[in-house]
Amino acid sequence: MAKFVFVTGGVVSGLGKGITASSLGNLLKASGLKVFMQKFDPYLNVDPGTMSPYQHGEVFVTDDGGETDLDLGHYERFIDEKLTKMSSTSAGKIYLETINAERRGDWGGQTIQVVPHITDSIKNKVYQAAKSSGADVIISEIGGTVGDIESQPFIEAIRQIRMEQGKENVVFIHVALLLYLNASKEYKTKPIQMSVKELLSLGIQPDIIVQRTDKHSSKEIKEKISLFCNIPTTNVIDAIDKESIYEVPLEMYEQNLHGLVLDQLQIKTKITDMESWIKFCEKIKASKEEFEVTFVGKYIELQDAYLSVIESLKIAGYEFKRKLKINWIQADKLNESNYKEVLQNAKGILVPGGFGDRGIEGMILASKFARENSIPYLGICLGMQIATISMARDWLNLPEANSTEFDNSGAVLIFDFIRGIDVQNLGGTLRLGAFYKTTIKEGTKAEKLYGSREVFERHRHRYEFNNEYKKPLEEKGLVFSGIYEEKKLVEMIELPNHPFFVGSQYHPEFTSRPNKPNPLFKGFVEAIIMKTK
Ligand code: GLN
């Protein structure tokens, strides 16, 4: 029988609720439990797949092709488990499914209401996650802030789950802000009290309060929260600012967050073994010297749009005891007349994934510069596509070479709609998830990096390399190092006579984990370090 932990947020958003939930997941996993995590988002969009990266940050992709909230990336990196579509649900999805069921006549003309129909549907998502994952503990984060109109059905649903399952099977954790008044130099517990009051009015007494603060709080503060919020002082945990988010599990461990949860859930475990996590944090602390990546992207004003790429670079850097420094370049600011000057000191160039035509020509120039000047280059999805287009333009004397996505007026479409895949049945026509086996060519850098001839990585793209141009490009020296043989789709490219020039049609950033960077990132970072030694 699975047990449940629900994490809510109070006072303001952006308190690191996801990191708290992930840290608890990390501790429970280190205690030998099987953990599954899920996020409920109160917005009405059906999924994050079509939401603007400017507003919502990265779309994290799961193995089973779920387009999810970026918090799932934290979850996976902290608990080192593959999550699924079951891990991400928005209010929009719940309402859509419920209304579709009503339209189908599933309820035989009953009146459909938020309680019980929407709340039942939310509860089902929690119970289904428990069933399909077979986990010992399901940690569910409720997005938004308690008191929001949108999140009320979720709060009501978890209240009912506690009633159904009992206190020994359900823990409520509330993450809220401990306010600091700079003028009077004092901490104020009132916002936390108010948000707990709000929770209580919805029928939920939190079991543990995690207060976000800049430093450890005094005994008096904890006593005050204990008194007003009706929990023992031991159940008030400080979430203090850390230099790295990866230090948070150890901080929570010190304060016995796992012990509180395990006790209440009456789970007996042996020890909570933090050894490998401690080692990882030691690597972070030892990473003083920097390595620099020139990041040529479209959404650089909002770095959350590249969260997993950035974390993958950091994680890879720690393996070499190096700290990441990013030189951000807005792709559409690069042009023929300035690119050489702007990029002249680049140590390594990365072009990440993206959609639409803005900045494409700038990215093409960046990949060309890396190619022609022996600068390590990693092209992810779009970054692989534009690198290939650039080679076709330069080497095959096809100046109009392009992808249908950016310009379909010319005849030279190096990337085009998915060929050989049933476009009709792909929903939004994206190739999603880790369903496609990449066969790696023998003797390539890719083989060396992966140490394997077969890999499954996660995809999220629409356009594929047009095999008409494969032979001509091979003759000029491009190596197609990874192929999805079943449909003959290009998955990876590389240049042999270059320190590191690698592109992948898939997204390697979704599978980097602490102590286990994705091989492409590790290879890229190593090449940068070698070059700057
Ligand atoms: N826009 C490109 C495509 O759809 C690349 C997508 C991506 O980089 N994720 O194929």
Q: What is the pLDDT of residues 143-195, one digit of tens each?
A: 999 999 999 999 999 999 999 999 999 999 999 999 999 999 999 999 999 99
Domain boundary among 279, 299, 334: 279
Statement to judge: residues 266 and 323 lie in one domain:
no
Statement to judge: residues 388 and 411 lie in one domain:
yes
pLDDT for position 282: 97
Ligand 1 atom closest to Cα of 464? 10
Is 509 among the catalytic positions? yes
How far does residue 383's CA lie from ligand 1's centre (Å)? 9
Contacts of 374 (CB under 8 A, 6+ apart): 498, 499, 531
Statement to judge: residues 359 and 502 lie in one domain:
yes
Statement to judge: residues 190 and 318 lie in one domain:
no
How far does residue 354's CA lie from ligand 1's centre (Å)? 5
Statement to judge: residues 271 and 404 lie in one domain:
no
125 annotated to bind ligand: no
491 annotated to bind ligand: no
Statement to judge: residues 168 and 187 lie in one domain:
yes
Buried b (16+ CB within 10 A) or exposed e, 322-361: bbbebbebbbeebeeeebeebbeebbbbbbbbbeeeebbb
388 annotated to bind ligand: no
pLDDT for position 55: 79
- What separation, in Å, do the N-terminal and C-terminal C-alpha atoms of the chain show? 54
187 annotated to bind ligand: no
How far does residue 506's CA lie from ligand 1's centre (Å)? 9
Statement to judge: residues 346 and 428 lie in one domain:
yes
Ligand 1 binding site (Cβ under 6 Å of any ligand atom): 353-355, 381-382, 385, 405, 460-463
Q: The CATH number of the domain where 71 resides is what? A: 3.40.50.300
Give the position of tokens 């060396």. 448
Which letter does DSSP use for residue 485 in this model?
Answer: G
**Residue 98 is part of which domain span?**
3-279
How far does residue 355's CA lie from ligand 1's centre (Å)? 5
How far does residue 345's CA lie from ligand 1's centre (Å)? 28
Alpha-carbon distance of 484 to 503, in angstroms, equals: 15
Q: Are 97 and 124 in contact (CB under 8 A)?
A: no
189 annotated to bind ligand: yes
What does pTM read for this prediction?
0.94
Q: Of the residues 403, 462, 490, which should be mutated to test ligand 1's pocket, given the most ligand atoms within 8 Å of the CB?
A: 462
399 annotated to bind ligand: no
Is 381 among the catalytic positions? yes
Burial of 196 (C-beta count, 10 Å sphere; 0-12/13-18/19+): buried
Statement to judge: residues 127 and 271 lie in one domain:
yes
Q: The CATH number of the domain where 320 resides is what? A: 3.40.50.880
Q: What percent of the chain has pLDDT over 90?
A: 86
Alpha-carbon distance of 520 to 458, in angstroms, equals: 13
Give the position of tokens 């009405």. 44
Is 258 among the catalytic positions? no
Which letter does DSSP use for residue 217 in this model?
Answer: P
Q: What is the pLDDT of residues 202-258, one digit of tens each?
A: 999 999 999 999 989 999 999 999 999 999 999 999 999 999 999 999 999 999 999
Give the position of tokens 């709000």. 198
Statement to judge: residues 172 and 315 lie in one domain:
no
Amino acid identity, residue 192? I
pLDDT string in tens for the chain (533-residue length):
899 999 999 988 889 999 999 999 999 999 999 999 999 999 999 888 888 877 788 999 999 999 999 999 999 999 999 999 999 999 999 999 999 999 999 989 999 999 999 999 999 999 999 999 999 999 999 999 999 999 999 999 999 999 999 999 999 999 999 999 999 999 999 999 999 999 999 999 999 999 999 989 999 999 999 999 999 999 999 999 999 999 999 999 999 999 999 999 999 987 999 999 999 999 999 999 999 999 999 877 788 899 999 999 999 999 999 999 999 999 999 999 999 999 999 999 999 999 888 999 999 999 999 999 999 999 999 999 999 999 999 999 999 999 988 887 877 888 887 654 544 444 457 889 999 999 999 999 999 999 999 999 999 999 999 999 999 999 999 999 999 999 899 999 999 999 999 999 999 999 999 999 999 999 999 999 998 87
Statement to judge: residues 170 and 317 lie in one domain:
no
Ligand 1 atom closest to Cα of 415? 10
Statement to judge: residues 296 and 435 lie in one domain:
yes
Domain boundary among 279, 311, 342: 279
Q: What is the residue with the minimal CA distance to atom 8 of ligand 1?
A: 353
Contacts of 58 (CB under 8 A, 6+ apart): 70, 73, 304, 305, 306, 307, 308
Alpha-carbon distance of 532 to 154, in angstroms, equals: 51
Q: Considering its fold, how many domains does the chain have in total? A: 2
Ligand 1 atom closest to Cα of 352? 8
Sign, CA torsion 107/109/115/118: positive
Q: Of the residues 385, 421, 423, 507, which should be mutated to test ligand 1's pocket, given the most ligand atoms within 8 Å of the CB?
A: 385
Ligand 1 atom closest to Cα of 460? 9
How far does residue 92's CA lie from ligand 1's centre (Å)? 25
* DSSP E strands, 298-335: 322-330
Burial of 254 (C-beta count, 10 Å sphere; 0-12/13-18/19+): exposed
Burial of 532 (C-beta count, 10 Å sphere; 0-12/13-18/19+): middle
- With CA atoms as reference, report the closest residue to 445 among 395, 472, 480: 480
Residue in 381, 459, 461, 498 annotated catalytic = 381
Q: What is the residue with the minimal CA distance to atom 1 of ligand 1?
A: 355
pLDDT for position 421: 52
pLDDT for position 141: 97
Ligand 1 atom closest to Cα of 354? 8
Domain boundary among 246, 279, 312: 279
Q: What is the residue with the minimal CA distance to atom 5 of ligand 1?
A: 382
Statement to judge: residues 43 and 162 lie in one domain:
yes
Give the position of tokens 């990013």. 326
